[in-house]
Amino acid sequence: MTAPEQETPDQAAGGTTGGSTGGSTGGGTAAAVRREDVGLDELRRRAEAKRDKAVYGQDSVIACDQVVRIFTADRVEVQALQGLDLLVRKGDLIALVGASGSGKSTLLNILAGLDTPTAGTATVAGCDLLGMNAKERLRYRREVVGFVWQQTARNLMPFLTAAQNVTLPMQLSGERWSAGRAARRSARAHELLDALGIDHLAGRRPAQLSGGEQQRVAIAVAMANNPSVVLADEPTGELDSETASSIFDAFRTVNRELGATVVIVTHDPMVAGEVRRTVAIRDGRTSSEVLRETLTDEHGRESTTEREYVMLDRTGRVQLPREFLAALGMEHRVAVDLAEDHIALRADDRGGDGS
């Protein structure tokens, strides 16, 4: 059976099969493969079924395929993203997590149109992030994506009121708000502020608002031109836990009631634990994913279940959790067995270098 063309979190978190490098079981790693009880006809059938699959990412509002970003400083190359794959469906509310230097901020800057990948493909709401010219990129940042920064000073103009801050992106957008002009822009601003519970603060300037109120206004600013995607970089990083919870409620409102897809980069376990899907990035690749589901029993009581998966990328690589590798003494190479409904990995038991 051919490995599926996605990444699984267990291989992305520690070692990689399929030739990855770094702290993984990929670079310099051999794999002994044994196929059990799967005939040639069955393998052909599976291959044909895979060929008939839909084009990668065609139903997703965000589709990253083998995205690479290389930075060069003093003739030294640093690979921030190393063939990252990511699909986000329309209407999703997801969190991206990862250690400093994992590549999550680089990815967010690419999705925001502030940076360009070195290689690979990345599309957001049908916009090719590698193929846009300067004019198209400016329009993309104004109308397709909204952005909420951690530092409030980057979100709001200090000399404008909350309502004026929200109308500013509409003025810059130009033609989409030309009919009716000021009245339409003002109505839209008050509609957004009201949805976020702060319309009574419309006439105040940022210095007259609390940190949480400033971030709510920033979310309204991000939604001013009704973008397809809202991107948020550590939006609760400077807030206390109670205020952070209210900001997450605001993102939920934007997602559920206003229809925006929301991607939040965060270190906050509260935020990561509240979303249905949390994607971990490690060493420049998506490594693992936690999916959560809320179930209601016959008595109306709700319970949340969650399960962690490793990501399988388009080349068949996965990163295995380091703690799993350490527990089983896996290093350098593993034996791979193919059964009818699963793939088994075993530590090499030959010892030495296997020669």
Using the predicted structure, report yes or no on whether residue 294 has a pLDDT greater than 60: yes
The count of structural domains within the chain is 2
Q: Output the pLDDT for position 2.
A: 43
Tell me which of 280, 310, 341 is where a domain ends.
280
What is the span of the domain harbouring residue 17? 1-56+283-355
> Of residues 231 and 49, which shows the higher confidence score?
231
Across 117-142, b (16+ Cβ under 10 Å) vs e yields bbebbbbbbebebeeeeeeeeeebbb
Predicted TM-score (pTM) of this structure? 0.78
pLDDT digits (tens, 9 = 90+) for 2-44: 444 444 444 444 444 444 434 444 444 445 555 555 567 777 7
pLDDT in tens, 244-270: 889 999 999 999 999 999 999 988 777
Q: Read off the pLDDT of residues 174-191 as tens digits, 9 standing for 90 and up.
A: 755 555 678 889 999 999
Whether residue 222 lies inside any domain: the answer is yes
Which of 240, 258, 280 represents a domain boundary (last residue)?
A: 280
pLDDT value of position 41: 75
Specify whether the CB–CB gap between 61 and 231 falls below 8 A.
Answer: no
Phi, psi values for residue 58, rounded to 5° = -70, -25
Q: What is the pLDDT of residue 297?
A: 77
The stretch 91-118 carries a mean pLDDT of 93
Are residues 29 and 332 in contact, defined by beta-carbon separation less than 8 angstroms?
A: yes
The average pLDDT across 229-238 equals 91
109 and 241 in a single domain? The answer is yes
248: left (phi over 0), alpha (psi -120 to 50) or beta: alpha
pLDDT, one tens digit per residue, over 308-337 is 889 888 788 888 888 888 888 888 888 888
Same domain flag for 127 and 209: yes
Average pLDDT over residues 108-127: 94
Q: Is 261 helix (H, G, I), strand (E, B) or coil?
A: strand
Can you give the length of the chain in residues? 355
The predicted pLDDT at position 277 comes to 93
CA distance linking residue 235 with residue 150, whole number of Å? 5
The predicted structure's pLDDT at residue 36? 52
- Domain boundary residue, one of 280, 308, 343: 280
